[in-house]
Amino acid sequence: MTTPFFLQPLERVIGARTARPLAKMGLLTVEDLLRHYPRRLQDRGRFTQLADLPVGDLVTVLARVEDAQLRTMHSRRGVILNATITDGTHQLRLTFFAKHEGALMGHRKRLRVGTVGLFTGTVTEYRGERQLAHPDFEMLADIDDEAAAIEKRMQPMPIYPASAAVPTWRISGAVDTVLRILQPADVPDVVPAAVRVREGLLGAHAALVGLHDPSSEENYGHARRTLQFEEAFVLQSVLVRRREEARAQRTRPRAATGDGILAAFDRRLPFTLTEGQLAVGREIAADLAGETPMQRLLQGEVGSGKTLVALRAMLQVVESGGQAALLAPTEVLAHQHHRSISAMLGPLAMPGMLGGAEEATHVELLTSSLPAKRRAAVLEGVTSGDAGIVVGTHALLSEHVRFADLGLVVVDEQHRFGVEQRDVLRTRGESTAHSLVMTATPIPRTVAMTVFGDLEVSTLWEVPPGRPDVETFIIDPARAAWVRRMWERCAEEVAGGGRVYVVCPRIDAKDPAEEAAGVASVIQTAAQLRSEPVLAGIAIGELHGRMSMDAKDQAMADFVRGDVPVLVATTVIEVGVDVPEATVMVILEADRFGLSQMHQLRGRIGRGTRPGVCFALSDRLDGVAARRVDAFATSRDGFVLAETDLELRREGDVLGAAQSGITSSLATLRVLADRDIIAGARQHAEELLRRDPALTGVPDLADAIDRIESTGAGDFLDRA
Ligand code: ADP
Ligand code: MG
């Protein structure tokens, strides 16, 4: 079988010389080139008049060659070609440089004095005179159909993502060549005709032509919308199919018995569950009791009590005779979960011990910094099934870890893990385990649909009642009086039994330039605070990723106890850390942090009974960074902040523009701005797959999906 035109190597279609520089940009096939979408449309309108050439603008002028001289440069090695073109009244200079005369001979010949041409380039100024350096040009005498050439130049022109070696007009040229040969049947059609009609979309071929060679701005917009829909539709089909495949798997049901460890735990809970915790708890309980492996995302506001929901799910699995694993992204968090789960369970975590309960199970901790002997003992409990709940870091994913009967994998703060890691444990046993992934970074619905389209989503909107207020202030670090007042406030909080976090963007300023620029680091800030008169007599600790696990543990323990009530840290404390006494969060150089990151940091305070205060230091008055800090100070609603964050980011950042395959083309889709397109595509994909699960009616779509699944181009799902 011959290779379809769409998949043919470019060099075979446009020649090796033209194809070579494009290959350097990763454009190897006809499809690569046609999927290299223009960034925007440049409206050239009429030709620019020579009398009116704004410096910096890309212009096209129609003019006659008046003079052209090729000469050797005196000052540096090389040759220069200077030409003057005119519209009869005004003149414009063209300049070309080259190392050797030979390189410019062709240009010199084509720029015959007296002939007329079209010149496209960016206007620059040299010694007070306007000029075009290295313009792209076409002499009308060389063109068969003058009128057609002029008309083409009048149409809006697509501007491509380009490089210095491959300017946008070169890409245009290659695209033109390909489009002249391209037939409608060459372009895969991934959207069923009925859907195209209902959504008012162009045909697949017409859309590509309309994007690269638009007849009008409307045509370009229509083409763009069509291609966006196609992309969203393929992506949603991938996700819906994955979900259906997962639903077809079977696992052991883990129903609660009603008289085991979960029931005992619920009886000793010191507070009542929130409405949300109850509702989500019921959804999860039903999932676990079923034969289909649960694949659920639990998202929630910071401090909404996700851990408790997860713990109850784990206990249900233990009650039914299985084991549960809780995967945490950092050692600090794994230790904290282990500590707090053991504490919440109390006698229920002390099997066979004096004072232990009858239904009790072992809660084990597995991290890479565990001493060998301890590690062996933990692994023994995991393998025998004695350990009902195993909390751990990445160490849990090691292949030496074999569970006797793993029924549930909980992944906390999933955005720190990749999909593959999430799945390692779940699919290792004989039957696929249930899975619950949790995120404290709220995700707008269309993002959830896009990034986690194969998961069911539960949301905890409310935080438990009675949570104290947290106020937020932006502090300009240049105002010494405000800064002093801030440290005074910290001292007051400590005196009242509170704790203070001080977060810095760096551990240590290794780079002298950074040090000169005053980028706050943990080491320097801690030293500085120790000599701050206002904080005299208050112990100041440090916590960052370069410390040993023991040292980190010690620092956390000192802070929790209150022996060292001020902790200077990096964002290691960003997720999950739960110290109810903490009342102050100081974020140094807040403008360097992401919006959801700041929200997470602020979520570390106001967890007990006392109101909290957050200080965000920033000297930015405008720009995106300043708007982030402003938004942060204005709202405490994680869902609102997540949307603002997305709006402030450039397109592509959400799903990672740098990634291959479908992701790179996804740059045309903005998860927020294009939410209607995504939601519509989702609906059509669901309908189609329900009617035609094998996609026999849309073979091009089946191919596209296979390609994504087999090349791993779907790994964009790693990006949360
Ligand atoms: P997050 O959702 O941010 O992970 P946590 O699970 O760490 O939040 O919960 C925050 C705190 O709220 C914990 O100290 C937890 O014990 C407490 N908590 C959880 N549920 C409730 C509830 N229903 N009533 C009161 N406090 C609760
Ligand atoms: Mg948490």
Instruction: Give the pLDDT confidence score for residue 652 in this predicted structure.
Output: 36
**42-56, 230-244, 266-280, 618-632: the lowest-pLDDT one:** 42-56
Higher pLDDT, 50 or 275: 275
For residue 620, count other CB atoms closer than 10 A to its CB.
Answer: 18
Residue 124 clears pLDDT 60, i.e. is over it: yes
Tell me the average pLDDT across 690-717.
80
Tell me the average pLDDT across 545-558.
88
Burial class (CB in 10 A: 0-12, 13-18, 19+), 34: buried
Strands (E), 402-539: 406-411, 434-439, 456-460, 470-475, 499-503
CATH topology of domain 261-460: Rossmann fold (3.40.50)
* Cα gap 37→211, rounded to integer Å: 7
Residue 312 clears pLDDT 70, i.e. is over it: yes
Residue 532 to residues 131, 483, 520, Cα–Cα distance (Å) = 60, 11, 16
Q: Per-domain residue ranges for the chain?
A: 40-159, 219-248+673-720, 261-460, 470-648
Tell me the average pLDDT across 251-267.
94
Single-letter residue type at 670: R
Q: Is residue 571 in contact with ligand 1, taking CB distance under 6 Å?
A: no
Tell me the average pLDDT across 206-216.
92
Backbone angles phi, psi at 506, to 5 degrees: -130, 155
Long-range contacts of 286-291 (CB under 8 A, 24+ apart): 287/434, 287/456, 288/253, 288/254, 288/255, 288/313, 288/316, 288/317, 288/320, 288/407, 288/408, 288/434, 289/253, 289/254, 289/255, 289/256, 290/253, 291/250, 291/251, 291/252, 291/253
Residue 39 to residues 25, 35, 42, 301, 674, Cα–Cα distance (Å) = 15, 12, 10, 36, 16
Report pLDDT digits (tens) over 54-78: 887 777 788 899 999 998 887 777 8
494: left (phi over 0), alpha (psi -120 to 50) or beta: alpha
Ligand nearest to the CA of 604: 1
- Chain centroid to Cα 99, Å, comes to 44
* Cα gap 227→243, rounded to integer Å: 24
Residue 256 clears pLDDT 50, i.e. is over it: yes
Question: Helix, strand, or coil here: 415?
Answer: helix
Structure tokens at 537: 């007599």
Ligand 1 nearest atom to the CA of residue 273, by list position: 23
Domains 261-460 and 470-648 share a fold: yes
300 CA from centroid of ligand 2 (Å)? 9
310 CA from centroid of ligand 1 (Å)? 11
Residue 498 clears pLDDT 80, i.e. is over it: yes
**Whose structure tokens read 């077809």?**
248
- 201 closest CA partner among 189, 212, 213: 189
Q: Are 616 and 472 in contact (CB under 8 A)?
A: yes
b/e per residue 217-240 (b: at least 16 CB within 10 A): eebbebbbbbbbbbbbbbbbbbbb
Instruction: Give the pLDDT confidence score for residue 717 in this predicted structure.
Output: 39
* Cα gap 569→345, rounded to integer Å: 30
Q: Identify residues whose C-beta is under 5 A from ligand 2, the ion.
A: 576
**294-308, 419-433, 466-480, 554-568: the lowest-pLDDT one:** 419-433
Report pLDDT digits (tens) over 362-388: 999 999 888 999 999 999 999 999 999
List helix spans (H) across 249-305: 261-268, 275-289
**116-125, 157-166, 322-331, 454-463: the lowest-pLDDT one:** 157-166
Report pLDDT digits (tens) over 580-594: 999 999 999 998 888
Backbone angles phi, psi at 282, to 5 degrees: -65, -45
Tell me the average pLDDT across 653-674.
45
Indicate the pTM of the whole model.
Answer: 0.69
* Cα gap 138→158, rounded to integer Å: 18
Residue 481 clears pLDDT 70, i.e. is over it: yes
Q: Are 225 and 186 in contact (CB under 8 A)?
A: no
Instruction: Give the pLDDT confidence score for residue 658 in this predicted structure.
Output: 31
**417-421, 564-568, 637-641, 716-720: the lowest-pLDDT one:** 716-720
Q: Is residue 278 in contact with ligand 1, taking CB distance under 6 Å?
A: no
Tell me the best of 265, 302, 304, 307 to mutate to test the pocket of ligand 1, counting ligand atoms within 8 Å of each CB and taking the most.
Answer: 307
Residue 713 clears pLDDT 60, i.e. is over it: no
Largest CA distance in the chain: 105
Tell me the average pLDDT across 228-248.
88
Helices (H) and strands (E) counted in the chain, each on its own, are 26, 21
List helix spans (H) across 496-537: 512-517, 522-530
Q: Are 390 and 404 in contact (CB under 8 A)?
A: no
For the chain, the average pLDDT equals 85
Q: How far apart are the first and last CA of the chain?
A: 41
Ligand 1 nearest atom to the CA of residue 306, by list position: 2
Higher pLDDT, 659 or 389: 389
Ligand nearest to the CA of 310: 1
Tell me the best of 275, 308, 463, 470 to mutate to test the pocket of ligand 1, counting ligand atoms within 8 Å of each CB and taking the most.
Answer: 308
Instruction: Give the pLDDT confidence score for residue 47 in this predicted structure.
Output: 62
211 CA from centroid of ligand 2 (Å)? 46
**1-10, 153-162, 325-334: the lowest-pLDDT one:** 153-162
* Cα gap 625→272, rounded to integer Å: 40
319 CA from centroid of ligand 1 (Å)? 22
- 326 closest CA partner among 399, 404, 414: 414
* Cα gap 518→532, rounded to integer Å: 17
Residue 714 clears pLDDT 50, i.e. is over it: no
Instruction: Give the pLDDT confidence score for residue 303 in this predicted structure.
Output: 83
Residue 651 clears pLDDT 50, i.e. is over it: no
Q: Is residue 303 in contact with ligand 1, taking CB distance under 6 Å?
A: yes
Atom 19, ligand 1: residue with shortest CA distance: 305
Q: How confident is the model at residue 46 (pLDDT cuts 50, 70, 90)?
A: low
Q: Is residue 189 in contact with ligand 1, taking CB distance under 6 Å?
A: no
Higher pLDDT, 453 or 618: 618
111 CA from centroid of ligand 1 (Å)? 76
Higher pLDDT, 579 or 153: 579
**Whose structure tokens read 């603008």?**
57
78: left (phi over 0), alpha (psi -120 to 50) or beta: left
Residue 648 to residues 360, 594, 601, 710, 716, Cα–Cα distance (Å) = 49, 10, 19, 34, 21
CATH 3.40.50.300 fits 470-648, yes or no: yes
Question: Helix, strand, or coil here: 551?
Answer: helix
Single-letter residue type at 318: V
Q: Are 640 and 665 in contact (CB under 8 A)?
A: no
- Write the CB contacts of 644 (distance below 8 Å, at least 6 apart in sequence): 595, 628, 631, 635
Q: Is residue 467 in contact with ligand 1, taking CB distance under 6 Å?
A: no
603 CA from centroid of ligand 2 (Å)? 10
* Cα gap 34→478, rounded to integer Å: 52
Question: Helix, strand, or coil here: 171?
Answer: helix
Instruction: Give the pLDDT confidence score for residue 245 in this predicted structure.
Output: 83
Structure tokens at 442: 């709220």
- 48 closest CA partner among 154, 169, 129, 173: 154
Structure tokens at 87: 């519209």
List helix spans (H) across 193-252: 193-199, 204-212, 217-248
**Whose structure tokens read 């549960």?**
324
**Per-residue DSSP letters for 586-607?**
EETTGGGS-HHHHHHHHTTSS-
Q: Are 362 and 384 in contact (CB under 8 A)?
A: no
Report pLDDT digits (tens) over 620-637: 877 788 888 999 999 988
Tell me the average pLDDT across 148-154.
67
Instruction: Give the pLDDT confidence score for residue 575 in this predicted structure.
Output: 67
* Cα gap 490→494, rounded to integer Å: 6
**Which of the residue ranges 146-150, 154-158, 692-696 has the most confident prediction, judged by mean pLDDT?**
692-696
Residue 479 clears pLDDT 50, i.e. is over it: yes
Ligand nearest to the CA of 413: 2
* Cα gap 358→485, rounded to integer Å: 55
Atom 12, ligand 1: residue with shortest CA distance: 305
Residue 244 to residues 239, 332, 689, Cα–Cα distance (Å) = 9, 37, 9
CA dihedral 704, 709, 714, 718 (to 10 degrees): 170
* Cα gap 393→329, rounded to integer Å: 6
Single-letter residue type at 681: A
Report pLDDT digits (tens) over 337-360: 999 999 999 999 998 887 888 889
* Cα gap 582→498, rounded to integer Å: 6
Q: Are 156 and 215 in contact (CB under 8 A)?
A: no
Q: Are 262 and 316 in contact (CB under 8 A)?
A: yes
* Cα gap 638→595, rounded to integer Å: 9
Q: How confident is the model at residue 84 (pLDDT cuts 50, 70, 90)?
A: very high
Backbone angles phi, psi at 536, to 5 degrees: -55, 135
Could you give the percent of the chain with pLDDT greater than 90?
A: 49
Backbone angles phi, psi at 84, to 5 degrees: -120, 130
Tell me the average pLDDT across 296-309.
90
Domain 40-159, architecture per CATH: Beta Barrel (2.40)
Instruction: Give the pLDDT confidence score for residue 443 in this predicted structure.
Output: 72
Instruction: Give the pLDDT confidence score for residue 196 in this predicted structure.
Output: 96
- Write the CB contacts of 646 (distance below 8 Å, at least 6 apart in sequence): 444, 447, 654, 671, 672
